[in-house]
A and B are shown apart, each in its own frame.
Chain A
Amino acid sequence: MLDLLKKYRTPLLTGCLVLAALLVYSANLRHQDRTTFFERLVLQVTAPLQKGIDVGWKTASGWWQHYLWLIDTQQDNERLTLENRRLRAELVGMQEIRLANERLHRLLEFRETTHLPALAAQVIAEDASSWFRTVVIDRGSADGLRQGLPVVVAEGVVGRIIVIAPHQSRVLLITDASSAVASLVQGNRTRGISRGKGNLLTFDYAVRQAQIEVGDPIITSGTGGIFPKGLPIGQVTRVTREAFGLFQAVEVAPVVDFARLEEVLVLITDQP
């Protein structure tokens, strides 16, 4: 018997091992949801080693890629810089389009409320000197415009055309010292003349007795023959009543931000 075992020792051991392996395997199949002590032990022992190898590899790889093998990095950097510039330019362009769209939308809404034919124009230049307040727009007599036509934006009155060329016009802003607009206080209907004063306006010839308060809106009266009635000009910022005199001094801030004037509407009125 012993001789027989010795003779077939190898096949028998092999068979036993296979059988044992199958038994362990089949036993474990029933407890798949549990981590065995063996698994835990092996994992605990190997985890630091794995981590060490991982860190070492990453460090070595990082050194190689960041400090030694930089050909790809250089190319990537150039490509990404170009792409970044392109995307930034596109973003600026998109924002510009969005803002122009918003402005034109407001202008269109205003145009519908005026009940007058109007022509949109673009501001292309400013006055050559610092003393006067005029701007140049890209529409002229070829587009049906003529001297004296009122120019407005959605917020209110801008000015009137003073010089006309076939494809350009110069607009005298209401803030110019030589500009005068027949106007009235919206609340109590006090009449006066809004004169330019550089960056502000004065509301002249307002009688002393009229109750004008800071914040009162000033609108066009429609009696000057240039601007239609009811267009906003500005808001009262200061009222001074002297002890004597027929009139009070009223300072008005324009509602239009002339520093950011881009698109305007020229109202095509009937008056020659």
Chain B
Amino acid sequence: MTRIFAYYSLGFVFILLQTALFPRFLPFFLKPDLLLVLIIYLGLNENYVRGGVLAYLLGCLLDVFAGNYLGLYGVACLATVFVVRGVADRLNTESSLLLLVLVFCGTFLQGIVLFFALGLFADAGPLLALFFGQLLPQALLNLAAALLLLQVVSALQRRFAPRSELPGLRHLNNRYGS
């Protein structure tokens, strides 16, 4: 329960940063998707049911602050977490580098899911040019944000909880002392 609350609180903080802080110093309507990093992390470290429910609820929370379609990001986050969970068994999920690669690929995956969900179910207008013109810069921005976030989390962990381990974040490195 504490973990679920922690995920949700973190998601809320990320959304607040995206809506109120980033627009003050980033170009107009181009901001890193920190919530995607959290969704990818969920996919790597939680099972299908818990990860799916959490991702869907976080997506719905994002829908309150993004766009005009409640449930759209819920679907996109659910799809993302399931795909990540599906490939996670074949990958070394303890490597933080994997998280970066998945964030980059996850941006494209989420963009495609959003595009089809909007195109098939809503009268969302000329989306193709908007989505595909902005996907690569968005992916690079998300990658940079994920890298920065990893550095910050690792530094905080070393400073305040050196003995504890966040699943999936340099777990192997700590265990084998490399």
Contacts and interface: CB of A to CB of B under 8 A. Distances in A.
A130 B138 CA distance: 8
B4 to A, nearest CB: 21
Contacts of B131: 131
Contact of B124 (A127, A162, A177, A198): A177
Interface stretch (A21-29, A56-64, A73-81, A132-140): A132-140
Contacts of A89: none
Interface in A218-246: none
Interface of A: 124-134, 136, 162-163, 172, 176-180, 195-199, 202, 258-259
Contact of B19 (A128, A133, A180): A128
A198 B129 contact: yes
B37 to A, nearest CB: 14
Nearest to B61: A128
A211 to B, nearest CB: 25
B142 to A, nearest CB: 10
B125 A195 contact: yes
Contact of B15 (A128, A172, A176, A197): A128
B19 A130 contact: no
Interface stretch (B24-32, B46-54, B149-157, B162-170): B24-32
Given A128-B65, A129-B66, A202 B126 contact: yes
Contacts of B31: 126, 128-130
Contacts of B111: 131
Contact of B66 (A124, A128, A195): A128
Contacts of A202: 126
Contacts of A125: 19-20, 23, 65
A197 to B, nearest CB: 5
Contacts of A129: 18, 31, 33, 62, 66-67, 73
Interface string B60-93: 0010111110000100000000000000000000
B20 A131 contact: no
Contact of A197 (B35, B68, B125): B125
Given A126-B23, A197-B125, A131 B62 contact: no
Given A131-B130, A136-B19, A179-B125, A172 B30 contact: no
Contact of A131 (B15, B67, B122): B67
B130 A134 contact: no
Nearest to B73: A129
B122 A178 contact: yes
A197 B126 CA distance: 6
A199 B129 CA distance: 11
Interface string B94-111: 000000000000000001
Contact of A130 (B29, B126, B129): B29
